Amino acid sequence: MTDDVCDEQGAAAAAARPARREHRFGLLGRIGIGEGGFLDAPSLDGVTGWPRLRLTLGAPGAKRWYPGALISQLFIVGFILVPLLTQLPAPASWFWGLGVIVYGALFTVSFPIAMALPDRWRWVPPAGLLLLSLPFLLVLGPDLSGLWTYVAVSAAMCFGGDRRAVFSVFGLSAVAFVINLIDGALQPSNTPPWTMPLIILSIGTLMAAFTRNLQTLSQLRRTQKELATVAVEEERNRVARDMHDILGHSLSAIALKADLAAKLSERDPAAASAEIHEVQTLARATLSDMRAVVSGYRQVRIASELASLRTLLPAAGITAHLPTTTDEVPERNRELFGWALREAATNVIRHAGAENCWVTLAPGRITVEDDGIGPAARSPEAAGGTGLHGLAERASDAGGALTIGRSRRGGFLLEVTA
């Protein structure tokens, strides 16, 4: 439609359309960890140093990580810390006990620290755990290779469950197996050398898979939000487009009838009164159509639009050459052709300056022509307004196309195929 009122409405609707927002979650956002999930990370753009670390330590994902990390350290307490404190003499027991506590604390903060680091430095927290565990293995023996279970879990989380995490877990398991195998050969033991490596491998791969699943869930949540945003925008566009088309056509008809009533008011009051009654009917119908648009149930049909044109075109001083039936138009095309006829007729009445208007129907095509001034003499708004863009979208959605140009009768041509 090309009337000024509807152009202003379309512009207002476009201005009210919310801009797309890109969710940013620092490092973890880049590897697919989204808002609302276990691995939440805060926005770290422009934040460096201690404030950056403080943000990640208090991030929602870190707060969800802490309880599980602390509970998992019951293994350290029961199988490593307590035996060290009871079996080693003081002060060695206290020294190694303090080392175990430091190790557990570093494990607890390893994942939040990784959130603050660039991707190329994400190996630092698990590497720190690995280095801190080496004195235990070298001094106290390979039995403490169970500490590498925490290194595997930290690597799985810090690397986001990707190939680096898998390689780290398998590497730790393999090295632990070799160490335990050599130790078993030197000092026979009842514990098989593959026991602890299997624990490291199983828990590490489980955490890597768990982390990948969390990332997939976060991606699905982000996709769901984006689809919801798109759905809202499409519904807003639908309402704006339908209201634009309905208001343009109906206001044009009301203005035409009101002008005619004004001209007839002095010489034929009865005819003027009849036109005013029609204006009232049109206004009520427009209000009903607008309510239907808002509720999503508005339908425009080719038959009703033809019936409307049989009175509107003669009232505008235009001779109408219309088909007598719409039976050949299949049901799937009737609404699209109705919108096309409404748009074309409004342009003919408002902008064409025509004396005649021809409408031709076929099962997959509707053509509207006039003998007016043609497209070259029209204003840019009239030649390619919001209504024509909306009609082109409707035709495209139906698998068809919109064609506009100069008709063979010298005026404007509008053709929609489906």
> 222-259, pLDDT tens digit by residue?
887 787 777 777 767 766 766 666 666 667 777 777 88
List the chain domain ranges.
Answer: 26-226, 302-418
CA angle 247, 253, 259 (to 5 degrees): 125
Q: Look at 168 and 4; give whichever has higher pLDDT.
A: 168
Mean pLDDT (whole number) for 258-267 = 80
Digit-coded pLDDT (tens) for 321-345: 998 888 888 888 888 898 888 888 8
Give Cα separations from 207 to 137, 154, 248, 304 (angstroms): 24, 9, 61, 64
The domain made up of 302-418 has a fold known as Heat Shock Protein 90 (3.30.565)
**How many alpha carbons lie under 13 Å from residue 397 in its C-beta half-sphere?**
12
**pLDDT class for 201, splitting at 50, 70, 90?**
very high
Strand partners of residue 402: 416
Mean pLDDT, all residues of the chain = 79
Q: Go through 47-67 and write b for each residue having 16 or more CB atoms within 10 A of its CB, e for each that does not.
A: beeeebbebbeebebbeebee
Sign of CA dihedral 26, 43, 109, 35: negative
For residue 376, what pLDDT is reported?
67
Residues 11 and 238: beta-carbon distance below 8 Å: no
Neighbouring C-beta atoms of residue 154, cutoff 10 Å: 28
pTM assigned to the model: 0.53
Q: Is the pLDDT of residue 409 over 60?
A: yes
Give Cα separations from 342 to 84, 94, 162, 382 (angstroms): 88, 89, 57, 15
